């Protein structure tokens, strides 16, 4: 599994998971992969449906890591003081 970066919004730990989405024309189950933050509602989905759950999670992890930055940005409340 791809090592997940921390959440770019709150710094929380990210977790990958999947669920079955549809049965395709070949009677195979397609899966959507997700990565979500354990502390805030941030979530990223796989780019497309996959034949295996592991592929779906890996795709979602690549998407999450591509957009996840370093430390969370300072909120506007921190700047008003």
Three-state SS for the chain is: CCCCCCCCCCCCCEEEEEEEEEECCCCCEEEEEEEEECCCCCEEECCCCECCHHHHHHHHHHHHHHHCCCCCCCCHHHHHC
Whether 80 has a pLDDT exceeding 50, the answer reads no
Domain ranges of the chain: 17-69
pTM for this entry: 0.71
Question: What backbone torsions phi and psi does residue 28 show, to the nearest 5 degrees?
Answer: -105, 150
Digit-coded pLDDT (tens) for 2-46: 789 999 999 999 999 888 766 767 677 788 889 999 999 999 998
């Amino acid at each position: 599994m791809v090592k997940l970066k921390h959440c770019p919004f709150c710094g929380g730990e990210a977790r990958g998971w999947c669920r079955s989405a549809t049965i395709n024309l070949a009677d195979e189950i397609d899966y959507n992969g997700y990565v979500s933050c354990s502390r805030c509602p941030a979530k990223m989905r796989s780019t497309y449906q996959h034949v295996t759950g592991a592929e779906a999670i890996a795709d979602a992890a690549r998407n999450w890591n591509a957009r996840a930055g370093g430390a969370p940005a300072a909120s506007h409340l921190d700047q008003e003081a």
